[in-house]
């Protein structure tokens, strides 16, 4: 015979009062305490005052100190949604303590982040100065890298002006079709009201999209690239400062968040957002920003004159950047993409570990078959003659410099040659391009090594290939990659939620500010 259980009694219809001191919830040594202490005692928030002009009337505004507290704490927990931050202010005791039991509307929270980019940048510098005052900056080595992330702009709304114009005409044709369908439906004796409504809605949607493209084409100018031979790049209707970028996870429409990180405690010394996928355009702006920032804060009159090492990965390497580093006496170590292949330690890497991405489709392939490489073409560098695998001499299109300053001989098969070629399906990525007069034949290029004079890229090769250069560059990954890991994985930043370069940069600096404050918590001396 089993005995009956005996439970404690409970009653949901009872009231209780819990006395909570909000300051007691902010315990020294925690991130929330650090935020509170910095805002109360260290940071100058008067920079926000010019944005408020409600002294003589109007509703009282939320104190920027309160909004900054809850936003920084939310970002530290991986919460970026303004609606979720509002909910946390209603339900979470730490958020209640930081906000003094106020609940800002989600639009107020979102507006604070998007409308105060300049003030956020000033706060970032103030935090950086505090890090320097507490000895967290070593100024021995700066590692630079970027992280490409989507923003609040659809890549489907991207294209050159020609492509956007064609899209607009396509939308107009669709509208014309739906109008004719709508007319037919109205003339029918037994009218299908539901179908008529759907047709009307489709016309409105298509017309809105067409007008948006038309307005963009009339008010904007084509967006040009930053290469030696600038050509038009894809514009975006919703955010024309964002860029279409290729990442390991596919093509995105967004920004490249670039950060420069100090080696000693992995403090972010500079954080900027760029709407270009090519990182080599971002190096000089970042280096100039660091120098100007350190002068402004009184950290150093010329940080690069002290011998501070600057290192970045191969994405930042081109002839222009190497020249910039040389002329400005910057102690830089930035390898080119052939850095590993020149190192004897990696000469047998492919045989030992196999090729990277073996399971992926070859880049230059057609229907699963590898395209004939340029190495199979017979190239005469003296007479600048090139003979294709089919035995045809293809046309010389001149000599151009690549990103590293190397002259390259350019060749292209004539249309009639490639059109009637028996092996064009093995030779060309897109064989059909040779079938119409506006197309092109197979294109190949060859580096003219023997004609090239020494350049700044050679100077950098000599530096990074030395034992000292290899040792210095080996520190890059351990300095900068953990920062992106912390912000991306721990803080949950996988996309920017704003539009325009200025606003996105403000959000990126907020996350980097959170990272720096965490370093102050772990290694700084914040008063208890």
Cβ neighbours around 168 below 10 Å, total: 18
Looking from the CA of 397 toward its CB, the CA atoms found within 13 Å total: 16
The pLDDT of residue 180: 87
Rounded (5°) CA angle 490-492-496: 140
What is the C-alpha to C-alpha distance for residues 368 and 354, in angstroms, rounded to an integer? Answer: 20
The pLDDT of residue 195: 84
SS3 category, 141: strand
Return the residue matching tokens 């409970």.
10
- Sort 224 into a burial class: Cβ within 10 Å, 0-12 / 13-18 / 19+: exposed
The pLDDT of residue 349: 64
Which sequence spans correspond to the domains of the chain? Answer: 22-52+60-115, 140-153+246-343+456-505, 161-221, 382-447
Cα–Cα nearest to 302, from 287, 284, 316? 287
Longest dimension (CA), the chain: 106
Cα–Cα nearest to 387, from 409, 413, 424, 365? 413
pTM of the prediction?
0.78
The pLDDT of residue 362: 46
E strands along 47-105, which residues?
Answer: none
What the block records as the tokens of 522 is: 């772990």
- Judge contact between 291 and 306, C-beta under 8 A: no
- Residues near 78 by Cβ (< 8 Å), separated by ≥ 6? 490, 491, 492, 493
Q: What are the residue ranges of helices labelled H in 188-336?
A: 193-219, 283-297, 319-327
Q: What are the residue ranges of helices labelled H in 233-318?
A: 283-297
The pLDDT of residue 353: 60
DSSP states of 352-378 = HH--TTTTSPPSSEETTEEPPPGGGSE
Give pLDDT tens digits along the chain (528 positions). 677 888 888 888 888 887 888 888 889 889 999 999 999 999 999 898 888 877 777 778 889 999 999 999 999 999 989 999 999 999 999 999 999 989 999 999 999 999 999 999 999 999 999 999 999 999 999 999 999 988 888 877 888 888 888 888 888 888 888 888 888 887 776 777 888 888 888 888 888 888 888 888 888 888 887 766 677 788 888 888 888 888 877 888 889 999 999 999 999 999 999 988 788 889 999 999 999 999 999 999 999 998 899 999 998 998 889 999 999 999 999 998 888 777 777 666 666 666 555 554 444 444 445 788 887 888 877 778 888 888 889 999 988 887 767 788 899 998 888 888 888 888 888 888 878 877 888 889 888 866 566 788 888 888 888 888 899 998 899 999 999 999 998 888 888 888 889 999 999 999 999 999 999 999 988 754
Architecture of domain 140-153+246-343+456-505: 2-Layer Sandwich (3.30)
The pLDDT of residue 341: 77
Rounded (5°) CA angle 504-246-398: 120
The pLDDT of residue 367: 45
The pLDDT of residue 361: 45
Q: How far is C-alpha 517 from the geometric centre of its chain's CA atoms?
A: 22
């Amino acid at each position: 015979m089993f005995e009956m259980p005996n439970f404690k009694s409970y009653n949901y219809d009872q009231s209780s009062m819990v006395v909570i001191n909000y300051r007691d919830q902010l315990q020294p040594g925690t991130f929330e305490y650090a935020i509170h202490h910095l805002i109360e005692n260290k940071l100058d928030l008067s920079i926000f005052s010019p944005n408020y002009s409600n002294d003589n009337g109007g509703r009282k505004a939320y104190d920027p100190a309160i909004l900054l507290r809850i936003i920084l704490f939310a970002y530290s927990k991986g919460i970026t949604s303004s609606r979720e931050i509002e909910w946390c202010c209603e339900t979470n005791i730490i958020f209640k303590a930081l906000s003094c039991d106020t609940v800002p509307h989600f639009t107020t929270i979102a507006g604070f982040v998007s409308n105060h980019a300049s003030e956020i940048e000033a706060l970032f510098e103030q935090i950086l100065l505090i890090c320097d005052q507490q000895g967290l900056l070593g100024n021995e080595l700066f590692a630079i890298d970027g992280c490409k992330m989507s923003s609040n702009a659809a890549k489907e709304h991207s294209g050159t002006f020609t492509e956007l114009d064609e899209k607009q005409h396509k939308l107009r044709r669709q509208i014309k079709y739906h109008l004719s369908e709508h007319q037919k439906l109205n003339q029918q004796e037994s009218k299908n009201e539901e179908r008529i409504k759907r047709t009307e809605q489709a016309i409105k949607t298509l017309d809105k999209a067409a007008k948006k493209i038309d307005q963009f084409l009339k008010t904007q100018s084509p967006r040009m690239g930053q290469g030696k031979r600038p050509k038009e790049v894809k514009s975006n209707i919703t955010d024309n400062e964002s860029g279409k970028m290729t990442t390991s996870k596919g093509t995105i429409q967004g920004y490249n968040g670039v950060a420069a990180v100090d080696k000693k405690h992995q403090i972010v010394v500079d954080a900027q957002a760029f709407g270009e996928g090519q990182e080599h355009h971002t190096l000089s702006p970042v280096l100039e920003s660091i120098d100007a920032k350190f002068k402004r804060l009184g950290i150093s009159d010329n940080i690069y004159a002290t011998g501070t090492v600057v290192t970045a990965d191969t994405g930042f390497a081109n002839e222009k950047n190497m020249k910039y580093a040389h002329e400005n006496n910057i102690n830089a170590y930035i390898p080119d993409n052939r850095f590993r292949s020149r190192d004897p330690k990696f000469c047998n890497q492919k045989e030992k570990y196999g090729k990277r991405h073996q399971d992926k489709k070859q880049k230059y392939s057609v229907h699963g078959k590898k395209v004939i490489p340029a190495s199979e073409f017979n190239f005469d560098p003296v007479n600048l003659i090139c003979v294709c695998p089919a035995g045809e001499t293809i046309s010389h299109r001149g000599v151009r410099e690549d990103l590293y300053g190397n002259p390259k001989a350019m060749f292209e098969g004539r249309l009639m040659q490639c059109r009637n070629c028996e092996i064009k399906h093995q030779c060309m990525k897109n064989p059909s391009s040779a079938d119409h007069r506006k197309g092109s034949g197979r294109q190949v290029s060859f580096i003219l090594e023997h004609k090239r004079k020494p350049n700044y890229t050679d100077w950098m090769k000599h530096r990074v290939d030395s034992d000292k250069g290899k040792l210095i560059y080996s520190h890059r990954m351990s300095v900068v990659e953990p920062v992106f890991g912390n912000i991306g994985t721990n803080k949950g930043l996988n996309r920017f939620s704003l539009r325009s370069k200025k606003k996105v940069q403000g959000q990126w600096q907020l996350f980097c500010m959170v990272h720096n404050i965490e370093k102050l918590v772990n290694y700084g001396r914040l008063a208890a």
